[in-house]
Amino acid sequence: LKTPTIVAAVFAMAALGACSSAQHQSVQSSSKPPNPVVMKGDSAAIANAKPDKTRYQATEADINFMSGMIHHHSQAIVMAKMAPTHGANSSILTLAARIINAQTDEINIMSMWLRDHNQPVPTPNPKGMTMKMGGEEHVMLMPGMLTEEQMAQLDAAKGTDFDKTFLTLMIQHHTGAVSMVKELFNTYGAGLDETVFKLASDVNTDQTTEIARMQRMLFELMVQNKPQ
């Protein structure tokens, strides 16, 4: 063969070998799992599995909200449990049962969240949150929570009087919870944790809806019992 022909053949064989090698490498690389996308501090896989802990850091406002709402809910439950023993009507009994079920579940969720974030889980206190100031413990009421005098007023009421008092004071209580949610979401960086966001949003939606329902119920009671 002439020299140019031999050179051309050598180049053709080299190109064919390179192509085969590239195909082999392509097959090998396609059989390997893709490299994980690394996020700040953790992998994407961990973030997807544990969104509450890795996507957003819990803030002090988140922790205070979850701790405070445990006490807030506990007072609503005490109020609702009075309904069967104080002659409440059927509508109040249904509302009270709904409040007990929903807010007991939410207390469990908030307690679990605090535990998972290595935070102290407070014992539900219907009188409010205990704070240490000047070496002494003081009980602080969250927004909307009833004073001891208001709780005594509710406990002393019976029948229709109880229904009216319960609705009036529970509207106050729910309005306070809604204001706590607004304060949380108005705090920079707070409420981004998935569980905190969902729970706070549920509290806002459920209690705003119940406020409207209780206002209608209270109006109907006032009309029914209006002096002739």
Q: Please, what's the b/e burial string for 116-148 (b: 16 or more CB within 10 A of its CB; e: otherwise)?
A: ebeeeebebebbbbeeeeeeeeeeebbbbbbee
Mean pLDDT of the region 89-95: 98
In DSSP notation, 48-83 reads HH-HHHHTSPPPHHHHHHHHHHHHHHHHHHHHHHTG
Least confident range from 18-22, 40-44, 149-153, 178-182: namely: 40-44
Cβ-defined contacts of 133-142 (< 8 Å, 24+): 142/68, 142/69, 142/71, 142/72, 142/176, 142/180
Tens digit of each residue's pLDDT (9 = 90 or more) over 20-73? 444 444 434 444 344 333 333 333 433 343 444 556 789 999 999 999 999 999
How would residue 225 be classed by pLDDT, with cut points 50, 70 and 90? confident
Query: What pLDDT sits at residue 132?
Result: 73
